[in-house]
Amino acid sequence: MAEIVLGIGTSHGPMLVTGTEQWASRIAFDKSVKHAWRGGEWSFDQLVEERASERLDQHLTKPAMEAHNKRCQDALDNLADVFAEARIDVAVIFGNDQMEIFDDRLIPAFSVFYGDTITNYEFPPERMAQLPPGIELSVPGYIPAGGAEYRGQPDLAKAIIAQAMQDEFDLAAMKSLPKPETPHAFGFVYRRIMRDNPVPSVPLLINTFYPPNQPRVSRCYDFGKAVLRGIQSWESDARVAVFASGGLTHFVIDEQLDQLFFDAIRDRDISRIAQVSEKVFQDGTSELKNWIPLAGMMAELGLEPNFVDYVPCYRSAAGTGNAMGFVTWQ
Ligand SMILES: [Fe+2]
């Protein structure tokens, strides 16, 4: 029976792969859209007014942002060291697509990659030209120069699919990626945590982001249970690591929600997150749903969480930015 010996939860946002001088490049975008925050919809100016008493400006100085960035990079180095030392044979990764391989012609609620080769090719120039301001600078953080190909693990993927189908999850199955790019949730793990030398892996994609078919929190929690049983059903002596990629709250940071989430992990009571309104899990904050199956699985296995760091990386007085979370379980 395959053995799960490590869990890693990591944020993956562009602020982790660009210098702090680039962080403000997204503010023009922040001002141009409505933001999901605490279950409502807010303009940038409404958020600035609502959050004035929090004195978020203290986080917006160059030294404050540099300090935040350093803590994030130190935490990521820590995760990469833990991964290297754990002598992992295979990884299972919960992540989401952000219109990289899917588009609104087809977005599965849950999908599993079960092919041999994961392609992470560079974007063609016309695709680069379409990226929003501030995002194009982050691309090398997810795709190495010249592109890359990584190994899948079809046997494990099929064991997971079989168990999940038995548990009444009607999954989409992908033998090759619909586009030759790896969604950045996964590219980040391969590059930054596995240091461009990934073990074979099984990407599990949850549509956290896009209405109308986002799975609910409770469903993500149950999916984790099915995946756990699927991994354990695989006849192999492999040492397995399970990852969650994404979050924490963004594009408007909500430290209270992140705290509640970490408390649930600490108390090994992940199902309590289902009591939070689904309306809260929108935009980048929805990526907490990638963590829920992992956290539930780790609680069930009794692996001990180590909260490596939590860093709310603000970029504006509206509280936009990305709260970064880094946790290992062993
Ligand atoms: Fe993301």
pLDDT at 134: 73
State the distance from the centre of ligand 1 to the C-alpha of 177, rounded, in angstroms: 18
What is the total count of domains within the chain? 1
Q: Is the pLDDT of residue 133 over 80?
A: no
State the distance from the centre of ligand 1 to the C-alpha of 160, rounded, in angstroms: 24
Q: Which domain holds residue 89?
A: 3-329
Q: Is the pLDDT of residue 17 over 80?
A: yes
State the distance from the centre of ligand 1 to the C-alpha of 71, rounded, in angstroms: 20
- Lowest model confidence (mean pLDDT) among 119-133, 141-155, 236-250, 283-297: 119-133
pLDDT at 1: 84
Looking at the chain, the whole-number percentage of residues with pLDDT higher than 90 is 93
Which residues are registered as beta bridge partners of 42? 35
State the distance from the centre of ligand 1 to the C-alpha of 259, rounded, in angstroms: 20
State the distance from the centre of ligand 1 to the C-alpha of 316, rounded, in angstroms: 19
Mean pLDDT of the chain: 96
Residue 290: closest CA among 97, 77, 99: 97
State the distance from the centre of ligand 1 to the C-alpha of 236, rounded, in angstroms: 32
CA 89 to chain centre: 21
State the distance from the centre of ligand 1 to the C-alpha of 49, rounded, in angstroms: 27
> What is the arithmetic mean of pLDDT over 174-180?
95
Map residue 308 onto helix, strand or coil.
strand
Q: What is the CATH number of the domain that holds 284?
A: 3.40.830.10
Distance CA 201, CA 80 (A): 16
- Lowest model confidence (mean pLDDT) among 95-99, 103-107, 133-137, 186-190: 133-137
**Are the CB atoms for 268 and 299 separated by under 8 Å?**
yes
Residues whose CB is less than 8 angstroms from the CB of residue 280 and which lie 6 or more positions away in sequence, other chains included? 36, 38, 39, 254, 257
> What is the arithmetic mean of pLDDT over 147-153?
97
State the distance from the centre of ligand 1 to the C-alpha of 5, rounded, in angstroms: 26
Distance CA 120, CA 143 (A): 6
pLDDT at 128: 87
Indicate the pLDDT class of residue 132, thresholds 50, 70 and 90. Answer: confident
pTM for the structure as a whole:
0.97
Q: Are strands 110-113 and 172-174 parallel, antiparallel or unpaired?
A: parallel
